Amino acid sequence: MYKYNPIDQAIVDARVSQFSEQMTRYLAGELPEEQFMPLRLQNGLYIQRHAPMLRVAIPYGTLAGYQLRHLAQIARKYDRGYGHFTTRQNIQFNWLALEQVPEVLGELATVQMHAIQTSGACVRNTTTDPLAGTVADEAIDPRVVCELIRQWSTFHPEFAYLPRKFKIAVVATEEDRAAIEVHDVGIRIKKHVIHGLAFDLWVGGGLGRTPLLGHRLLADLPLDELRNWLTAVLRVYNLAGRRDNKYKARIKILVNAMGVEAFREAVTHRYLTDHDSDLKISAETLEDLGDSFSCKLEPQPIEGHQGSLDFQRWYRQNTKPHRIMGYRSVFLSLKRPGTAPGDVTALQMDVIADLADRFSQSEIRTTHDQNLILPHVAESDLKELLQCLSAHDLAHPNLGLISDSIACPGLDFCSLANAPSLSLAEALHETFDDLDEQVDIGPLEVKISGCMNACGHHHIAHIGILGVEKKGQPWYQITLGGRDQQGAALGKRLGPAVPHDDVLPLIKRLVDTYLEERQPGEYFVGFVDRLGVDYLKEISYATH
């Protein structure tokens, strides 16, 4: 995987010094809160309900074993012994002391990590396919492009104070495992007869209060011009985006206000007028970065899988094919009963780091579904790996099933939330506690957000749950039929909000109806498409 060069390291070290000085000025009363807030946010530091929260960047969701081991040390030394993996492939620490944050950043820098631009109105961590480099049909490892975007966007003098946050996702396969249509900018890289490598540019997607799918603004652009096109998009947004109302400030609002055609014309004009040859990406750069991400694996004989029923269930549910014969990508579900989605203890981090070193080329991936992956495991090692994972509650075989729900921290931690999220995630485990039943139900994505900001991505869930406040009490709106892959769609509201304790009975009625009325081979989301939300509303609220 990519290793810092001296320039990368010098910049991250300088950032630690810069933020330490900013914190010193703030604590000394020399820097007003209104000026400190954007500075701390651009370093991922929030003031939350109970304590400061630090969001640490995991660029494009790729971690090395030694980095995860150091995150475990930070969890023990500065936090309460755990960390929380987020829906944007980062990790958060929820219980830091404000004055210790510069010290934590210093420690992170020793292992090529940082919190740069993990929040604030700037270009955030670029996310991508968590299976990058392991699948056979990639045009290029998308992390190569993500790293180029990371460098280009880090401390960009024009784009550090945008109207609002700006999120970019990149894929390089037909299958979209990064939800590019619900990002401010989505990039799909593909092979191209003329350009060699080209990309389609999606703009104006996003969730939050105004969920919208992005528009495919331009197609078949040569990949070597990516940074010039991104500059053009950002420049139009920075000059024309609204700043008078934070809820109207995302690029999706601008694109809709201008109209897609006018926005396309503006971006094209800026591209043609301001083109900078220094931003062109050379073939040599792509090749060098490609080498830094490539993983040299020798094909292995394929093992038989005659193990126990537990092994077979885990193999089927939690491992995926690898482009190299004899290897699998192994998913570690972070959705176990009794644990908040995405939470991992320091001990588990150490174990995962050790297992990555032993079995997966020292590499770990984070997913936007708040799970982890050991991406390169030889099939011959799978049984031993399962034993080790099981001993540390990391082998729960529920990937993609109804209990593999994602949830924001909700009212338990977040100062923006209206309602708890984590208790509903736990209630899913209790209501659907039979793994055989979950397998029978099949693929079903439940996503839970504690407020309209939609950090739990409920709009793109098969069953979305949104916490709202009614007369001081938490209630929940249910949406159905959302999805984030090809043919992405936003969920439709099922009906009136229900109180906390009615949410799971309602979902149970929906699922029972699905089990009774589904057609052969029909998944839940197809069932919703076929029967429609109005029909399901009658059933869901029948006994409510």
Partner 1 sequence: MPLINSQGAVTALSPPDALDPTQSDMTSVGDVLMIAFAFDSPVDGKAFSAAALLRAEGYGGTLIGVGPVGLDRLAYGFRAGFDVLELTDDEWQQLQPHHLSPFPHHYQPETRPSQPLKKSA
CA–centroid distance for 295 within its chain:
23
Residues between 197 and 256 that touch partner 1 (CB under 8 A): 234-236, 238-240, 243
Which range binds partner 1 by CB under 8 A, 20-28, 95-103, 284-292, 450-458? 20-28
Sign of CA dihedral 438, 439, 444, 445: positive
Provide the minimum distance between the beta carbon of 170 and partner 1 in the complex, in angstroms, as a whole number. 17
Query: How many CA atoms within 13 Å lie on the side-chain side of 54?
Result: 26
Q: How far is CA 470 from the centre of its chain?
A: 30
Judged by CB under 8 A, the stretch of 157-165, 388-396, 420-428, 432-440 that binds partner 1 is 157-165
Q: In angstroms, what CA-CA distances link 265 with 204, 254, 260?
A: 15, 14, 9
Three-state secondary structure along 222-291? EHHHHHHHHHHHHHHHHHHCCCCCHHHCCHHHHHHHHCHHHHHHHHHHHHHHHCCHHHCCCHHHHHHHHH
If one asks whether residue 265 binds partner 1 (CB under 8 A), the answer comes out as yes
Residue 257 contacts partner 1 per CB under 8 A: no
- What six digits make up the tokens of 212? 């919208």
Does residue 262 belong to the site contacting partner 1 (CB under 8 A)?
yes
| Residue 80 sits in the site that holds partner 1 (CB under 8 A) | no
239 versus 325: smaller Cβ distance to partner 1: 239
Query: Of the candidates 159, 293, 432, 514, which one interacts with partner 1 according to CB under 8 A?
Result: 159
CB-count burial class (<10 Å; 0-12, 13-18, 19+) for 37: middle
Least distance from C-beta 151 to partner 1, angstroms? 4
Which of 11, 51, 427, 531 is in the footprint of partner 1 by CB under 8 A? 11
Q: Which stretch binds partner 1 (CB under 8 A): 5-13, 88-96, 391-399, 445-453?
A: 5-13
Q: From the list 29, 157, 304, 520, which residue makes contact with partner 1 (rule: CB under 8 A)?
A: 157
**Gap between the Cα atoms of 425 and 406, Å rounded:** 8
State yes or no: residue 20 binds partner 1 (CB under 8 A).
Answer: no
Contact 302, 259 (CB under 8 A): no
Question: Which of 64, 105, 135, 162 is close enough to bind partner 1 by CB under 8 A?
Answer: 162
CB of 189 to partner 1, least distance (A): 21
Helix runs in 49-92, H state only: 65-78
Q: How many residues bind partner 1 (CB under 8 A)?
A: 44
Closest to partner 1 by CB, 279 or 515:
279
Q: Is 269 in the site for partner 1 (CB under 8 A)?
A: yes
Locate 193 and state its tokens: 């007869």
Q: Check residue 59 and report its DSSP letter.
A: G
Cβ at position 231, least distance to partner 1 in Å: 9
14 touches partner 1 (CB under 8 A): yes
Nearest-10 crossing angle of helices 500-517, 524-531: 90
Q: Three-class SS of residue 208? A: coil
Region of 77-85, 127-135, 146-154, 510-518 interacting with partner 1 (CB under 8 A): 146-154
β-pair partners for 169: 127, 186
From candidates 21, 137, 220, 440, binder to partner 1 by CB under 8 A: 21
Three-state secondary-structure class, residue 437: helix
Contact, 158 vs 121, CB < 8 A? no
Residues in touch with partner 1 (CB under 8 A)? 7, 10-11, 14-15, 17-18, 21-22, 25, 30, 34-35, 38-39, 121, 151-152, 154-162, 234-236, 238-240, 243, 262, 265-266, 269-270, 273-274, 276, 278-279
